[in-house]
Amino acid sequence: GQQVMQIPQYQHVQEGEDFTTYCNSSTTLSNIQWYKQRPGGHPVFLIQLVKSGEVKKQKRLTFQFGEAKKNSSLHITATQTTDVGTYFCIGDAGGTSYGKLTFGQGTILTVHP
């Protein structure tokens, strides 16, 4: 069945260092979404990528969708302590109005000041 693997599971960085998390799907996706969940909080939608090879930026965050629409990455430049939390992706295989959703396991980011 369809799977989305997300790596790494954990990442510890010093404030100011960069951070990247990757999602890899076993099948072609219709779209992929990224979310951030602060400790004790709820997932908050960051972005949706739809087009092959798409790159979107939000301030220090850069999101990429692979050419084959199977891979995606989230890169944070110069991390800050406010970036701590779990980042996860949701892959949508499409096919119906509501698709078949698979969830990345999440990357827990810790930023040391």
Under the criterion CB under 8 A, does residue 1 sit at the interface with another protein? no
Tokens of 7: 């790596």
**Contact flag: residue 55 with another protein (CB under 8 A):** no
Q: How far is the CB of 50 from another protein (least distance, A)?
A: 7
What φ, ψ does residue 81 adopt, rounded to 5°? -65, -25
- Tell me: does residue 50 bind another protein (CB under 8 A): yes
Least Å distance between CB 31 and another protein? 8
If the CB atoms of residues 66 and 85 are measured against another protein, the closer one turns out to be 85
> What CA–CA distance (Å, rounded) separates 29 from 112?
35
Q: How far is the CB of 111 from another protein (least distance, A)?
A: 17
What are the start-end ranges of the E strands in the chain? Answer: 4-7, 10-14, 19-25, 31-37, 44-49, 55-58, 61-65, 71-76, 85-92, 101-103, 107-112
| Range in contact with another protein (rule: CB under 8 A) among 12-20, 63-71, 75-83, 95-103 | 95-103
